[in-house]
Amino acid sequence: MFSGLLSPRQICMRQSSLTSTEGGDMVGDACYHCGRDSYRSPSVVVDAVATRDTERGMEVLLIRRGHEPCKGMLAFPGGFVEYGEDPEDAVKRELLEET
């Protein structure tokens, strides 16, 4: 069963062992192989799926990611819900910010 907490024996996306790290007030894990951080704190995120019908058929709005992870890849517009923010307001804000 997934508990949401990472243990040093778990595997990251690059199939490498994780090691515990501390930075400021954040505690997480980092990959031995790539150094990528994997924090234990859960975050709420939203994505917008915007479509329109055209003469050629249905089109879907995608963005090209500007930051890691997956920099340069296509994705739905979206991002983190700010503390105290309603998720519906967050998805509207992210859609405006990213398009």
**Span 37-80, pLDDT tens digits:** 665 667 899 999 999 999 999 999 999 999 888 899 999 999 99
Range in 22-26, 76-80, 85-89 the model is least confident about: 22-26
Give the tokens for residue 33. Answer: 């192989």
Q: Where would I find the beta strands (DSSP E) of 1-99?
A: 18-23, 26-31, 37-39, 45-47, 51-54, 57-60, 63-64, 74-75, 78-80
Low-confidence winner among 1-15, 18-32, 46-60 (lowest mean pLDDT): 1-15
**One domain for residues 38 and 50:** no
Whether residues 10 and 34 fall in one domain? yes
Domain hosting 67: range is 45-98
Q: Report, in angstroms and rounded to the nearest whole number, the Rg of the chain calculated over CA atoms.
A: 17
CA distance 4 to 25: 19
Examine the domain organization and report whether 37 and 58 are in the same domain. Answer: no
Domain count, the chain: 2
Residues 46, 55: Cα–Cα separation, whole Å: 30
